[in-house]
Amino acid sequence: MASASGEQTSAEYIQHHLTNLVCGKTPDGWTCDHNAVDQMGFLAFHVDSLGWSIFLGLVFVGLFRLGIPKLSTEAPSGIQNFVEMCIEFVNDNVQSIFTSAKNNLIGPMALTVLVWVFLMNLMDLVPVDYLPTLAGQVAEATGMVEDSKDSYFKVVPTTDPNITLGMALAVFVLIIFYSIKIKGLKGFLAELTLHPFGKWMMPVNLVLEGVNLIAKPISLGLRLFGNLYAGEMIFILIALMLTFSSISIGLLGVGLHLIWALFHILILALQAFIFMVLTIVYLAMAHETEDH
């Protein structure tokens, strides 16, 4: 969205920061050209958010698996302490929510969600212009775009609803899988239709329970997306203050950035924690076999 003169307006600056690098299928074949985005259908990938997401997932696995040269029973040190602390924290949470049912997938999944989402959220603390500028320079240098301003690079994966809803979708599939596995298809359908009004109000029950069921992944994904998107937006607005040619506004922007970043650390951790806890709670509910 670069203007012809090369000068960006505020709106363009913000818009630029909120646009993904997309590669997708157009009628003419696969392309990463930003101008062709409108012609892409569903078959398009946000290369930046997906790439960071996978990279941070690998960081998680590397940190928790390869980061420990040798597991020690005697006296854990360094990274093993941190890893054990995380696992114990997750395990405590899982066990306090999963009181009766046992499922050895929930722990690892909750750990993955917590650390991975936290790492993805953490990218929000990298000043908003660093990585996109770097990516723009690289793209220009390698000839992928003519002007670095034409390159788009959105870093924080959790500000992309595709990412948060993608994880929520996996959780949703697991909810349905375990509901059917534990209660049987009959039990699951009975839960959807015979509640809360009894069997003569089946359609009403189905609508109510269906909404209840669908609301779980939607709220799970959108909550994380909304919080991080809003936080990212405020970072962008603060960063915008630094583009004005006024020292006092610039200094104010630095101060605000510091304050918001400090406050945001809390939000990042909290949102990762909430996503984990809700994942555990939803799956615990799927394991509950109540008599209706």
Partner 1 sequence: MNINATLLGQTLAFVIFVAICWKYVWPPIIAIMEEREKRIADGLEAAKKADDSLEEAQLAFDQEMNKAKAEAAEILEKANSRASQIVNDATEKAEVEAEKILSSASKTIENDVNKAKEELRQKMSELIIDTSEKILGDEISPEKHQELLKKAAAEL
- Taking the C-alpha atoms of residue 209 and residue 189, their distance in angstroms, rounded to an integer, is 10
For this structure, is 227 an active site residue? Answer: yes
- Taking the C-alpha atoms of residue 51 and residue 46, their distance in angstroms, rounded to an integer, is 8
Closest by alpha carbon to 280, among 90, 64, 86, 115? 90
Query: Considering only 41-49, 138-146, 183-191, 281-289, which stretch makes contact with partner 1 by CB under 8 A?
Result: 41-49
Query: Considering only 110-118, 146-154, 251-259, 281-289, which stretch makes contact with partner 1 by CB under 8 A?
Result: 110-118
Binding of partner 1 by 108 (CB under 8 A):
yes
Q: Are 225 and 217 in contact (CB under 8 A)?
A: no
Helices 161-193 and 202-241 cross at an angle (nearest 10°) of 160
Give me the least distance between CB of 2 and partner 1, in Å please: 21
Judged by CB, which is closer to partner 1: 70, or 292? 70
DSSP string, 238-250: HHHHTTSS-HHHH
Query: Considering only 5-13, 100-108, 179-187, 245-253, which stretch makes contact with partner 1 by CB under 8 A?
Result: 100-108
- Taking the C-alpha atoms of residue 87 and residue 91, their distance in angstroms, rounded to an integer, is 6
Give me the least distance between CB of 108 and partner 1, in Å please: 4
Q: Which of residues 119-158 bind partner 1 (CB under 8 A)?
A: 157
Q: In which order are the strands placed within the sheet that holds 29-31?
A: 29-31, 22-26, 44-46
Kindly list the distances between the CA atom of residue 224 and the CA atoms of 6, 202, 208, 231, 263, in Å, as whole numbers in the listed order.
35, 33, 24, 11, 16
Give me the 47-86 binding string for partner 1, x by CB under 8 A, dash otherwise.
--xx--xx--x--xx--xx-----xxxx-x------xx--
Binding of partner 1 by 43 (CB under 8 A):
yes
Binding of partner 1 by 284 (CB under 8 A):
no
Number of residues located near partner 1, criterion CB under 8 A: 47
Q: Which of residues 157-176 bind partner 1 (CB under 8 A)?
A: 157, 160-163, 165-167, 169-170, 173
Judged by CB, which is closer to partner 1: 117, or 192? 117
Q: Among the options 20, 53, 151, 227, which is catalytic?
A: 227
Give me the 191-230 binding string for partner 1, x by CB under 8 A, dash otherwise.
----------------------------------------
Helix ranges (H only) for 62-160 are 79-97, 106-122, 130-141
- Taking the C-alpha atoms of residue 145 and residue 137, their distance in angstroms, rounded to an integer, is 10
Strand partners, 24: 31, 44
Task: Extract the tokens encoding 214.
Answer: 């669908």
For this structure, is 65 an active site residue? Answer: no
Q: Among the options 72, 81, 219, 246, which is catalytic?
A: 219
Binding of partner 1 by 92 (CB under 8 A):
no
Give me the least distance between CB of 103 and partner 1, in Å please: 11
Q: Are 148 and 32 in contact (CB under 8 A)?
A: no
- Taking the C-alpha atoms of residue 247 and residue 259, their distance in angstroms, rounded to an integer, is 18
For this structure, is 223 an active site residue? Answer: yes
Residues designated catalytic = 219, 223, 227
Q: Which residues bind partner 1 (CB under 8 A)?
A: 22, 24, 40-46, 49-50, 53-54, 57, 60-61, 64-65, 71-74, 76, 83-84, 87-88, 91, 104-105, 107-109, 111-112, 116, 157, 160-163, 165-167, 169-170, 173
